[in-house]
Amino acid sequence: MIARAVVTMGSFSFINCSSSLLMNKYRGDSEKMVHLVFQVARERSPSILFFDEVDALMSARSSQGEEESFRRFKSQLLSEIDGVDSGGGESQSSSHSGQVIVLAASNFPWDLDEAFRRRFEKRILIPLPSHKDILSLLLLHLSPLLQHQEYEEEEEDDVESMLSSIIPSLPHFSSADVKSLCKEIAMAPIRRLLDFSSPLQLQALHDQGGLVIPPITRRDVEEGVKSVTSSVDPSSLPKFEQFESQFGSS
């Protein structure tokens, strides 16, 4: 999402490179695909090449137990990144020079090849969302859906206060976990309808334009918090902090 935000802010072309796109079982095809992707990025510049879960492609090279084809692939990728930094060579016109940016993301940055890591000037840790960030996400997704009637006689910020009160119950929640929580809460009214009607009856009402979904209540929010847990292993957090202190940059 951060990569896409950068694309939107700068009006870049966005090319998402996955391991399934680049890796091929036939000899030499993976290196050709890497060259082709960078060539397309230069032709469509200004552009951003984004490698998600890049540790699957650029783990540390080893002289033992690693296939020769995989080593050639890594060498080709490193050479192409160097070509971007130097202007792209003959395949890139001078008007496009310096307008290809390479971004990569990894959940295991300590497994990356050292030469690959050196080629990135910025190495930034994206931390877990703060309490303020979680509240912003909850308000974004849930405020329009909450039952406003129960707050009419209370303060205007009662919805925000109620959502703030559940944040201490969300330890080590990532942004994805918060999104999953919001989806779980949003499904609660549907489940209440299913207690009284079958899916076919609800579908018939929807087709006739007569399906009215009840609003989300405070109880729905509390029950959702009980049913959703964090996907983050707390024991892994110190490894990220250590990598940030050793290799991170602002």
User: Domain ranges in the chain?
Assistant: 2-118, 131-231
Q: Give which of 151, 216, 141, 214 is closest to 181, Cα–Cα.
A: 141
Quote the CA–CA distance of 94 and 233 in Å, as a whole number.
47
Pairing of strands 13-17, 47-51: parallel
Q: Is the pLDDT of residue 128 over 90?
A: yes
Q: Give which of 106, 102, 70 is closest to 86, Cα–Cα.
A: 102
- Residue 63 tokens read as 């002289």
pLDDT at 133 (0 to 100): 94
pLDDT at 228 (0 to 100): 92
Could you tell me the strand order of the sheet in which 47-51 lies? 13-17, 47-51, 100-104
Fold match, 2-118 / 131-231: no
pLDDT at 91 (0 to 100): 39
Condensed to tens digits (0 to 9), the pLDDT of residues 30-67 reads 888 888 889 888 888 888 899 988 888 888 877 565 67
Of the pLDDT bands very low, low, confident and very high (cuts 50, 70, 90), residue 104 is very high
Quote the CA–CA distance of 184 and 226 in Å, as a whole number.
10
pLDDT at 96 (0 to 100): 41
CA 191 to chain centre: 29
Of the pLDDT bands very low, low, confident and very high (cuts 50, 70, 90), residue 84 is low
Which amino acid type is present at position 45? Answer: S
Q: What is the pTM of this model?
A: 0.73
- φ/ψ region of 169 (left if φ > 0, alpha if ψ in -120 to 50, else beta) reads alpha
Q: Is the pLDDT of residue 142 over 80?
A: yes
pLDDT at 86 (0 to 100): 54
Of the pLDDT bands very low, low, confident and very high (cuts 50, 70, 90), residue 89 is very low
Quote the CA–CA distance of 120 and 81 in Å, as a whole number.
9
Domain at 131-231: CATH code: 1.10.8.60
pLDDT at 149 (0 to 100): 45
pLDDT at 63 (0 to 100): 56
The fold of the 2-118 domain, in CATH, is Rossmann fold (3.40.50)
pLDDT at 157 (0 to 100): 53
What would the mean pLDDT of 215-237 be, rounded to a whole number? 89
pLDDT at 189 (0 to 100): 85
pLDDT at 74 (0 to 100): 85
